Amino acid sequence: MGIQGMELCAMAVVVLLFIAVLKQFGILEPMSMEDSSDSELELSTVRHQPEGLDQLQTQTKFTKKELQSLYRGFKNECPTGLVDEDTFKLIYSQFFPQGDATTYAHFLFNAFDADGNGAIHFEDFVVGLSILLRGTVHEKLKWAFNLYDINKDGYITKEEMLAIMKSIYDMMGHHTYPILREDEPLEHVERFFQKMDRNQDGVVTIEEFLETCQKDENIMNSMQLFENVI
Amino acid sequence: MAAGVAAWLPFARAAAIGWMPVANCPMPLAPADKNKRQDELIILNVSGRRFQTWRTTLERYPDTLLGSTEKEFFFNEDTKEYFFDRDPEVFRCVLNFYRTGKLHYPRYECISAYDDELAFYGILPEIIGDCCYEEYKDRKRENAERLMDDNDSENNQESMPSLSFRQTMWRAFENPHTSTLALVFYYVTGFFIAVSVITNVVETVPCGTVPGSKELPCGERYSVAFFCLDTACVMIFTVEYLLRLFAAPSRYRFIRSVMSIIDVVAIMPYYIGLVMTNNEDVSGAFVTLRVFRVFRIFKFSRHSQGLRILGYTLKSCASELGFLLFSLTMAIIIFATVMFYAEKGSSASKFTSIPASFWYTIVTMTTLGYGDMVPKTIAGKIFGSICSLSGVLVIALPVPVIVSNFSRIYHQNQRADKRRAQKKARLARIRVAKTGSSNAYLHSKRNGLLNEALELTGTPEEEQMGKTTSLIESQHHHLLHCLEKTTGLSYLVDDPLLSVRTSTIKNHEFIDEQMFEQNCMESSMQNYPSTRSPSLSSHPSLTTTCCSRRSKKTTHLPNSNLPATRLRSMQELSTIHIQGSEQPSLTTSRSSLNLKADDGLRPNCKTSQITTAIISIPTPPALTPEGESRPAPASPGPNTNIPSIASNVVKVSAL
């Protein structure tokens, strides 16, 4: 009996292994197919329609034709009417093929996504663009400050600035001349803080930022650079 | 950069303001947008169907026709739209590409038409989206194969009169239908293969008893007869093998080929048997060697297309067969082990070892079930039933793949044969059309001449001749005429006896008479029935020397009419685009050649009844269907031209 029983056990083990192998080959999939099909239905119902053209016209400084053109481009890329972060990263990365633009795109996404709901609607898009292209220098600087201030607490810390700086340098990629040094971003941040941080308290407030920028010729000139983009 | 992303460029540029405060150096100036137009709708008129889109949509892909300034060539000032004389269906796909960034391939569209359109619009097919790319590639591959097949068969059919004896022999071996001798050889070898195989089989049948000994197989009873048969077969095979070896273009490759190895293996046992007749030790081995005589049956594969297809299928399904084998082996080992251990307990079990259980497992899995080994324990029976059920599944899985492969290859082969048969007919028809077209030119010349001649007498003939040639045809004829003038030679049609020398003398009266007579004959022959046996042997020969009234012979116009009527009937069937008008009757202008007045011959636009405008010279039919036109030498060619051409024509009608 002893040997008999052991052989039976051995046989049982063999059979179990056989079933395991079949599962491996996918022949014996556990019956879990019906669940996955339902979840796909959810995505298609999410859609967003922007506010009316007139309303947007009042909110932004674009003409009707410009808004129409912008919306056509926007809707072409995002038929559902809103951009989620991954799509945004994808689109933005296409402009910087050599480097990795995803981190910066993340910051940018947060800057555009005014209501913080994880998706950029056309209104956010157009309002942001209006500030950047048709706004006063003051507004643009405020927007830039908002971009740098990652946690939106009103202060730019060195860590936040370093993150931003690194993400900008990442967009350049590795094949640059001269080769990017390890500490280059940090140095850049130091220089920035030296310039901006008046009271040397380790953070840059909006007033310090605005004040310093308005005194800087280069920055003021460069703010006018993209006026005729649309 | 992807298309739609260009729409986001303004956004990306605007967002660059975020870098400004941290910039080290001053920024470069932005490029000025010189002609900053408001986005406008442009109208694209494709064969009457109007498509409208924004200008910027098209400018997304600046290296295509629509995206660049190339489209300005198609701009129509009057209607202020871009007119393209192309297929609107495919244009739909092209325009969608601009709109969505994805190029799709519609299934109903012909692949080469689609390719042409893409090439026109400057779009690379490689950017077809993933959804349609596979389909596109498959159809393209199929089409390429088909064209290659056609090309191959076309090349094969070119008769190369300059083949050496060796090459003719090789061709005879490979394609037995090329000559009767090859066909005879083919059947003879086939017959002897059959005889040899049957001999081998019958040799082993017990043949009745010789008094005084036990029952013998036939081979031993009538050993002499069988030996003679065997010798004859082997001799034939040897001769065949040596001939093939001699004729093969690359002997080394031939020796390595499968068929030749089979040949060798099939005849070796005989010779080895001759060599070692009485040596007792090796006679046992020799007997085994005779088994190889069965390989002679594989020689049939040269005779049977189906066998070759089967072999090719098996080769192409090698991976499926390999998988089948592998999975079977795995299953056999598993089940054999299980059965062995299950049956170990039962007494007098046949499952003495695992390898012994292999036999049971194989027999069960293939559902043979001989019953020489059966499990007796309950566990054994359970596992035995599982084994047989799984056997059915494992074997059934790769079989459909093999079947579909075989079906595909078989149908491909059928299609290839059908295409080859059709191609012959098609080419013959094309040739006839081209014959007609060259006649067209000469006919128009003659008529022009005639009219000139009859200027004096008014123009009754002119009206009789009826319809006019189109402008294109007349221009084409003029071009050919210019070529004739340049080279000082002239085109020859059908009858070499009418070969033209560039005679500078134009004899109006001669022409008149000739023409007139010819016209009479023509009109009488106008409705010559298209039978299969025109009397082609008589040769029209209006010789061409200037003073050759004496040698005037009648033009035998049935020849000329024959292609004409044929052409008429063929025109309904023909798939060739025949330019120009559709006037039916086509008459060769044999005589006109001669009278060819080099000076002053103007094909008169008003008079011809010509159909085609493709000119080629219907030279001896052995030429390739493209029919190079060359000025014919002014020497009488073989008289078989006409019959053969007509016989070509005849063959066509038979199809």
The one-letter amino acid code at A63 reads T
What confidence score (pLDDT) does residue B381 get? 92
pLDDT at B440 over 50: yes
Q: Considering only alpha carbons, which residue of chain A is nearest residue B14? A: A132
Between CA B274 and CA B565 the distance in angstroms is 68
What confidence score (pLDDT) does residue B47 get? 92
CA-based nearest residue to B208, from B200, B220, B216: B216
Contacts of A70 in chain B (CB under 8 A): 10
Interchain proximity A4–B345, CB inside 8 Å: yes
What confidence score (pLDDT) does residue B623 get? 38
Q: Which two tokens stand for residue A111?
A: 């800057």
More confident residue, B157 or B470: B470
Please calculate the CA angle B266-B192-B297 and round it to the nearest 5 degrees.
45
Between CA B277 and CA B286 the distance in angstroms is 9
Contact call for residues A167 and A152 (beta carbons, < 8 A): no
Contacts of B344 in chain A (CB under 8 A): 7
Interchain proximity A111–B38, CB inside 8 Å: no
What confidence score (pLDDT) does residue B528 get? 43
Confidence of residue B360 (pLDDT cuts 50, 70, 90): very high
Interchain proximity B8–A108, CB inside 8 Å: no
Q: In the predicted model, what is the mean pLDDT of residues B535-561? A: 42
Between CA B446 and CA B540 the distance in angstroms is 16
Coil, strand, or helix at residue B550? coil
Confidence of residue B398 (pLDDT cuts 50, 70, 90): confident
Contact call for residues A109 and A101 (beta carbons, < 8 A): no
Contacts of B12 in chain A (CB under 8 A): 92, 95
Confidence of residue B251 (pLDDT cuts 50, 70, 90): confident
What confidence score (pLDDT) does residue B335 get? 92
Interchain proximity A94–B26, CB inside 8 Å: no
Contacts of B1 in chain A (CB under 8 A): 94-95
What confidence score (pLDDT) does residue B45 get? 93
Counting Cβ atoms within 10 Å, is residue A11 exposed (0-12), middle (13-18) or buried (19+)?
middle
Quickly count: other Cβ atoms within 10 Å of residue B440's Cβ. Answer: 32
pLDDT at B637 over 50: no
Q: Considering only alpha carbons, which residue of chain A is nearest residue B33? A: A228
Chain A, 165 to 224: residues with Cβ < 8 Å from chain B are 165, 168, 188, 191-192, 209, 213, 218-219, 221-223
Say whether residue A108 is in contact with chain B using an 8 A CB cutoff.
yes
ipTM: 0.76
Please provide the average confidence, as pLDDT, over all residues in chain A: 82
What confidence score (pLDDT) does residue B209 get? 67
CA-based nearest residue to B563, from B574, B551, B553, B549: B574
More confident residue, A163 or B555: A163
Say whether residue A46 is in contact with chain B using an 8 A CB cutoff.
no
Q: Which of B148-157, B208-217, B552-561 has the lowest mean pLDDT?
A: B552-561
Interchain proximity B1–A94, CB inside 8 Å: yes
Summarize pLDDT for B593-629 with one digit per residue, the tens. Answer: 444 444 444 444 444 343 444 444 444 444 333 433 3
Respond yes or no on whether the N-terminal peptide bond of residue A178 is cis (omega within 30° of 0). Answer: yes
Between CA B391 and CA B363 the distance in angstroms is 10
pLDDT at A134 over 70: yes
Q: In three state form, how does the secondary structure of B507-522 look?
A: CHHHHHHHHHHHHHHH
What confidence score (pLDDT) does residue B482 get? 85
Between CA A155 and CA A148 the distance in angstroms is 9
Interchain proximity A72–B54, CB inside 8 Å: yes
pLDDT at B461 over 80: no
Between CA B123 and CA B284 the distance in angstroms is 73
Quickly count: other Cβ atoms within 10 Å of residue B297's Cβ. Answer: 17
pLDDT at A101 over 80: yes
Between CA B440 and CA B587 the distance in angstroms is 8
- Compare CB distances from A73 to B7, B14, B29 and report the shortest one's residue: B7
pLDDT at B82 over 60: yes
Summarize pLDDT for B185-214 with one digit per residue, the tens. Answer: 889 888 999 988 898 888 888 877 667 667
More confident residue, A113 or B336: B336
What confidence score (pLDDT) does residue B113 get? 93
Please provide the average confidence, as pLDDT, over all residues in chain B: 72
Q: Which of B218-227, B314-323, B625-634 has the lowest mean pLDDT?
A: B625-634
